[in-house]
Amino acid sequence: MTLLSHYYQPDTDPAVVRAMAADWWDVLGAFPRDAIERACREWLREGTRRPAPGEIRALVVRELAAQRLALPPPPPPPEPERERVSPERAAEILAEAGFSPDRLSALMARRMPRSRHDEAAQ
């Protein structure tokens, strides 16, 4: 990672360098590479010292959250296909609920009372 090479490092034991790389991987390995690269570039533009892995992680998380907010929400999943009810079954359901064709006609012919909103508008 070239990010760290911008900061002075005395001769460091290769085992320590490998351990540091493992730490960085543990913290950042689950994130997309391009998001990590953008976070490192942002640190290089604004940072004045060597970053800790958690500081770069915070930049990555912030950027990914901003990307998610900028994306439109995914479309809802399609509704499962339903079996259409036959006219005979529909009549049975209405009869079970206490509705007959005569009762439905009577209900449809009845005037519905006006709401308070309608009275206020007149």
Quickly tell me which residue has 């509705």 as its tokens: 99
pLDDT at 110: 75
pLDDT at 5: 60
pLDDT at 38: 93
Show me where the domains of the chain are located.
2-70, 87-121
Cβ atoms within 10 Å of 31's Cβ, excluding its own: 16
Find out whether 67 and 34 touch, Cβ atoms under 8 Å. no
Q: Which parts of the chain sit beneath pLDDT 50?
A: none
DSSP alpha helix (H) spans, the chain: 14-28, 33-46, 53-70, 87-96, 101-109, 116-121
